[in-house]
Amino acid sequence: MSPRSERIEKLKQISRERVLILDGSWGVMFQKRKLDEAAYRAERFKDHPGQLKGNNDILCLTRPDIVGDLHDQYYAAGADISETNTFSATTIAQADYELESAVRDINFEGARIARERADAWTAKEPHKPRFVAGSVGPLNKMLSMSSDVNDPGARLVTFDEVYTAYREQMIALHDGGVDLFLIETITDTLNCKAAIKVILDMEDEGYEPLPIWISGTITDRSGRTLSGQTVEAFWNSVKHAKPFAIGLNCALGADLMRPHIAELSRVADTLVSAYPNAGLPNAFGEYDEEAHQTAHELHEWATRGLVNILGGCCGTTPDHIRHVAEAVKGVKPRQIPERPKAMRLAGLEPFELA
């Protein structure tokens, strides 16, 4: 058994014993650094055209010290799993910065930095091993929805183009040493299916199999993803991948996310994750929910047996994660339900035939 396979088995064992803790927001922590354009460029991109400030993924190449320090902060706060800083590291997303050629390096270095810090923390605290999730974020182009209100069939990308973009990203993350893939903040299920196909194809090609974690986004109080699916329909659409975990993140604070997590907990026969925002943004786009407030909400979810993995999304900090980790310490994880066999399909709504 390879060292990575041993880590994966350990992760699965721990998930049966307690609630796992994911890290929190990366964007808000980079914003606190008040980095200027020069910090994003460094020597490698000093002559690159256009603005690079705000392209946080590029910091894996230009300021790896800051990226590594943020992993350290979240691991110190109690996170079991930290994500790579690669949320937008695909050729499709990086085209906005004309940095398609840097995509492999961003992902490989993002994974390498995270692996290095996780291993260092595991060596220091062997009773609490740390793990790395390869962050595979949504794209700025959707397969399920038209790009032109006057043409329902219009698309800016094809399935093959999305597949190719995700493939380059995930091979680099795999090579860099991640323990699992986290396909997150999914607004478009068809984009997600392209990412899933990449992972399944990689396994067929001989890459070491890694757990798949899928996290969708409910965009508003309607309880649907941006491409129109309910939570149960979303689960039915991706359950064929037999994911290690399924969950929701972003868009909503914990109070508004709770009913949707409860529904997912009811129907999913795998681990359920949740990492909400620190409430809803205020008029200035900032998040006001304090760490103890987030922890109070998520403690209730855990004690009600709704979740297996908890963390934070937009607006959350290492302090939020510290409070959440303390709040759920000793709480038993959700028990995975055994559901009767049935044909379960989905369009925008779920369909079940016993």
* Residue 220: band (very low, low, confident or very high) from pLDDT cuts 50, 70, 90: confident
Amino acid symbol at 252? L
Residue 168 CA to residue 306 CA, distance in Å, equals 35
CA neighbours within 13 Å on the CB side: how many for 255? Answer: 6
Residue ranges for the known binding site for Zn(2+) are 250, 313-314
The pLDDT, as a whole number, for residue 221 is 77
d(CA 323, CA 338): 32
**Mean pLDDT confidence for 231-251:** 96
Predicted pLDDT at 147: 87
The class (CATH top level) of 3-353 is: alpha beta
Angle among Cα 69, 181, 141 to the nearest 5 degrees reads 95
Mean pLDDT, the chain, whole residue set: 96
* Beta carbons of 57 and 86 less than 8 angstroms apart: yes
b/e map of 332-351 (b: 16 or more CB within 10 Å)?
Answer: ebbeeeeeeeeebebeeebe
Task: State both tokens at 8.
Answer: 């994966």
pLDDT attached to residue 185? 97
**Residue 149 confidence class, pLDDT cut points 50, 70, 90:** confident
Angle ∠(56,79,215) on CA atoms, nearest 5: 65
Has residue 6 got a pLDDT over 80?
yes
Q: Determine which of 19-28, 113-122, 258-267, 336-345 has the lowest per-residue pLDDT on average.
A: 336-345
Short-list 87, 106, 108, CA closest to 177: 108
- The 10s digit of each residue's pLDDT in 184-208 is 999 999 999 999 999 999 999 999 9
What is the residue type of 238? V
User: How crowded is residue 7: how many other Cβ atoms within 10 Å of its Cβ?
Assistant: 21
Instruction: Pick out the residues of the known binding site.
Output: 250, 313-314
Could you say which DSSP state residue 22 is in? B
C-alpha 146/C-alpha 120 separation (Å) is 46
pLDDT band at 261 (very low <50, low <70, confident <90, very high): very high
C-alpha to C-alpha distance for 271 and 264, rounded to whole angstroms: 10
Residue 219: the pLDDT is 84
What's the CA gap between 336 and 159, in Å, rounded? 33
pLDDT digits (tens, 9 = 90+) for 206-215: 999 999 999 9
Q: For tokens 């899928």, name the residue.
A: 214
In one letter, which amino acid is 341? K
Tell me the pLDDT tens digit for each residue of 62-112: 999 999 999 999 999 999 999 999 999 999 999 999 999 999 999 999 999
